[in-house]
Amino acid sequence: MSPMLTHQDIELRQLAPQDGQLLIDLDKAGCNIGLIGLPESLQECHVIFQSLESQMWSTPMTALSAGTPFGAFWTALPNVSNLNALLVTLFEGLDRGGVALALYIRHLFWSFPLHRLYTHVGALDRGSGYSAIYEGIGFKREGILKEHALLAGRRQDIVVYGLLREEFDRCMLAFDPALSLAGVDASGRR
Amino acid sequence: MQAAVADQALFGRWVRLEPLSALSSAEATSLMTRSDTIGQLVLSSPPPESCGRFVPVFCVRARRDGSCVGLAANWEVFGYPDVAEIGLYVQRPGLGLEAWVLDMTYLFSHGAHKCLLEVVDGNDSVLRPFEKLGLRPQAWLSEHAYAAGQFRDVAVYSMTADEWSTLTSSNHALARVAASIGGASF
């Protein structure tokens, strides 16, 4: 499948049913830092893909580097009244995650009238790497939900991050203007 | 305040929470669409697939005249199966507080590890009493809700069963409402 979006050495393409194993592998590798329930079998993946297809703004995508998938994103809980959605992110390579995530979020804000995205990060060792990525593209830490997730029989705190459209654009103007939405016409030209 | 479970309803001193029926659902919906209700400052509708996952959705009635004054819904928070979110829409703040205590206590006795409530900034009829109770939001979600003509921040309050127990045992009024229904089967 050809890439939909490219930036630097990162490609994004639509997450397809054949990527089910990728999701399972990312979950097993500890990439599910939001600690949300994810599929454990290809059959469950199929159900998730079907549900994402029918859900507004879901935009499921895979991130690739040199043709190899290393992450996946989609949105959940779209709220059309409040123009926000929950961002679900799974990365294997944190070093490449920032560019891929910025490209993905730029695509969301470009394509839909979203005012805000928010996401959850488990208060785990691995979570700090994700936090750095989120903060690097403009997410603000909004609070900690105590004992929110149950992981391997233990209660875990969840950190909530939020990002407004204007905050993302301000951040991109400063750090990667090619991904900024400002000064771009409807055809994508500056 | 005195509360008890009877005839599949929860009774406080001022309100009665009864499982939503076709008739009371119409009453509650009508109430929610009136512009002078707290419905203007609530978030989205609960997801239908998990609404009432822990305990029934209740119609909140004033005991004085039996009128419908609100709705107490609950649903599973996406991705976190034992966390219940409460959608409490009550026209009169004092009645709302009693309904909240009844609903929270009932949820904790029916499998919720934690309960969560989102309150839109500016909804002082909820924020002020919570502050008086010593409750602090665990998160402030920036411009998370579009209400009354603008994007507004949202306070997230959440409490585990243990924290709820501590709160209700340290507050005489809350304790009396909570104790009278705790552990009752539906």
* Shortest Cα distance, chain B CAs vs residue A6, angstroms: 30
C-beta atoms of B139 and A160 within 8 A: yes
What is the separation, in whole angstroms, between the first and last Cα of chain A?
A: 28
Q: What is the mean pLDDT of residues B139-163?
A: 93
Contact predicate A101/A93, CB 8 Å? no
Check whether A18 has a pLDDT greater than 70: yes
The amino acid present at B35, given as its one-letter code, is S
The predicted pLDDT at position A34 comes to 61
Of residues A16 and A14, more confidence is placed in A14
The predicted pLDDT at position B5 comes to 43
What pLDDT digit, counting tens, does each position of A137-166 carry?
A: 999 999 999 999 887 788 889 999 999 999
pLDDT above 70 coverage of chain A, percent: 89
Contacts of A164 in chain B (CB under 8 A): 142-143
- The Cα B126–Cα B119 span in angstroms is 7
A-contacting residues of B 146-165, CB under 8 Å? 146, 151, 156, 158, 160
Q: What is the mean pLDDT of residues A82-96?
A: 87
Query: Alpha-carbon dihedral of residues B125, B43, A138, A72, nearest 10 degrees?
Result: 150
Q: What is the mean pLDDT of residues B154-166?
A: 93
Check whether B1 has a pLDDT greater than 80: no
Q: Among B80, B138, B145, select the one facing A143 at the smallest CB separation.
A: B138
Return the CATH fold of B4-181: Aminopeptidase (3.40.630)
Contact predicate B114/B100, CB 8 Å? no
Check whether B31 has a pLDDT greater than 70: yes
Q: Among B116, B139, B160, select the one facing A142 at the smallest CB separation.
A: B139
Check whether B184 has a pLDDT greater than 60: no
Q: Which structural domains are found in chain A, ordered by start?
A: 5-179 (3.40.630.30)
Reported ipTM: the value is: 0.88
C-beta atoms of A145 and B143 within 8 A: no
Q: In terms of pTM, does the model score above 0.90?
A: no
